[in-house]
Structure 1
Amino acid sequence: MKKLHFIIFIHLFIINCDTKIKLKPVSVRDFSIFIESTKYITDAEKFGWSFIQEDVYTFDVIKNVSWKSPDGKPTDNLNLPVTQISYNDALAYCKWAGVRLPTYYQYWDAVKNDKRTVVSESNSIKEINNVNIVGNVWDITLTENIKGEIRLAGGSYLCSPSTCHGTQPDRELFVDKETANTHISFAVYTP
């Protein structure tokens, strides 16, 4: 009987742990509270420039873009995922908020049951609550390659089956720890 109870306990523990996994996209509103509280300066703000991407193939380097003006114009939609964020910026937020970034595999495990629409071949980022986390913006993870670059997960609204295949779990896209972009964001993980 003890063996049966132990097996049931292990099974329930595994189920319970799996159902508690949460992945929450960080919004412009969330990030602005962090900035107001800490006076943190992002990598894009320190550099004075960042990348803006109109499509998968076209990158422009633009001065004075940041999380407040990710495409060069101030954003007034606080429900969008925060963008123009680097790995370093995401870690600073996580430390302040008492949360963490997911690994690449934790990310895909956490999103596998989200049945909301996956953004694909759109012309803009969508509000967080309206769509699946996959396909809206690339999300920064803790997973690094041997060069110390960070693996992104989930793909973005710019991805399509004919270009970057970002919404596929086997897609490999790495960036350095200071890279920010109009379609790079992060989600926090709470096991």
Structure 2
Amino acid sequence: MEEHKCCCAAGREQVQTAEAAAEEKVQAVDGAKAPAGGVLERLVALPGGKFEMGTNSPEGFPADGEGPARMVTIAPFRISPHAVTNREFREFVDATGYVTEAERFGWSYVFHLLASEATRQKVENVPQQVPWWLVVEGAYWARPEGPDSGIEDRLDHPVVHVSWQDAEAFCRWSGTRLPTEAEWEYAARGGLSRKTYPWGDLLKPDGKHMCNIWQGKFPVKNNASDGYVGTAPVDAYEPNGYGLYNMSGNVWEWCADWFSPGYHRQTPADNPRFGQPTGRRSMRGGSYLCHRSYCNRYRLAARSSNTPDSSTGNCGFRVAAD
């Protein structure tokens, strides 16, 4: 397995370079707050404590900095039981008038098998390193596969085409924040120790699908034996021991940290967080595009990253709070 292979590694810098107007977007949601009974009130409280983070498994990607495994301590916190949905993000946009970075740039990355034939014919640019990602004009959270698509039948699916900075704006509105990588992994493990997945070490116990990932030959044929070619509802499959859904697969989830391959050697054991700017933000959990033969980053200790202004059709987020 080649360590650089990653289904999600389509960044905005691979097509063009532009500065994101982060400060302007932050100001756009100032003064607007989520209504009572919203995302903040639905968070799951976790006690924190010590757990073994990371992995020394040869199945991992050393270049990603998945190890060395170590004991870390996490303070009590709260986290969303599932990724932010299209419905929840639409409420945020309706309340604030927020415009995502995909809309500002005018395009986002759409996986080639999900775009319509009409959309594919209009595509003029693809990143050479990951040609299964199409640069689709007019693709954004409410038009996930381009102008001829919509979300009315997917309101309970995770919102996608959101950049790290879009996620931050949602957090400001909802009174939440993004989880740190350590909080995310603690939550994802659901109380289990040294396991590969949120439910154990077998990907399909008794032949049962436990998450939404790729089946077939990536990137040309997805058999969808788990029930989905693209995203699944945020509460699909069984929750982990903490009652959290889809901590593996479905969509990548942004974390608060800047990304560093030296994370486990550079951060403290007490509430670790990597805060030194590196140009890339951390993502966790894998997505519906991950496949063992190419990018098995749906494991609990797996890590990835992207530039904070990038958006793709397989990346979303969940929120946390102190």
Normalising by the smaller structure, the TM-score range is 0.7 to 0.9
* Count of aligned positions: 177
1:80 aligns with 2:157: yes
Q: State the match for 2:111 in structure 1.
A: 53
**1:170/1:111 CA distance change after superposition, 3 Å:** closer
Q: State the match for 1:28 in structure 2.
A: 86
CA distance in 1, matches of 2:309, 2:185: 23
CA distance in 2, matches of 1:172, 1:94: 22
What are the equivalent positions in structure 2 for 1:158-173 lying under 5 Å apart?
A: 158-173=289-304
Q: State the match for 1:40 in structure 2.
A: 98
1:69 aligns with 2:183: no
Equivalent position amino acid for 2:47 in 1: C
Equivalent position amino acid for 1:159 in 2: C
What are the equivalent positions in structure 2 for 1:12-27 lying under 5 Å apart?
A: 17-18=47-48, 21-23=78-80, 24-27=82-85
What SS class does the counterpart of residue 109 from structure 2 fall into? Answer: strand
Equivalent position amino acid for 2:176 in 1: V
Q: State the match for 1:124 in structure 2.
A: 230
CA distance in 1, matches of 2:282, 2:103: 22
Q: State the match for 1:140 in structure 2.
A: 254
Tell me if structure 2 keeps the 8 A contact 1:137–1:157.
yes
What SS class does the counterpart of residue 130 from structure 1 fall into? Answer: coil
**Offset, 1:120:** 2.1
More moved, 111-120 vs 130-139? 111-120
CA distance in 2, matches of 1:147, 1:118: 31
CA distance in 2, matches of 1:139, 1:89: 12
After TM superposition, which residue ranges in structure 1, 4 or more long, deviate above 4 angstroms? none
- CA deviation digits over 1:129-155, x for unaligned, max 9? 113322110001111135220111000
Tell me if structure 1 keeps the 8 A contact 2:188–2:300.
no
Q: Give the RMSD, CA atoms, in angstroms.
A: 2.1
**Offset, 1:22:** 2.4
CA distance in 2, matches of 1:16, 1:101: 15
Tell me if structure 2 keeps the 8 A contact 1:44–1:66.
yes
Uncovered stretches (5+) of structure 1, i.e. residues with no partner = 1-14
Equivalent position amino acid for 1:88 in 2: Q
**1:164/1:20 CA distance change after superposition, 3 Å:** same
- CA deviation digits over 1:19-74, x for unaligned, max 9? 86423310000000000000000000001101112377611000001100111111
**1:95/1:16 CA distance change after superposition, 3 Å:** closer
What are the equivalent positions in structure 2 for 1:77-116 lying under 5 Å apart?
A: 77-113=154-190, 115=199
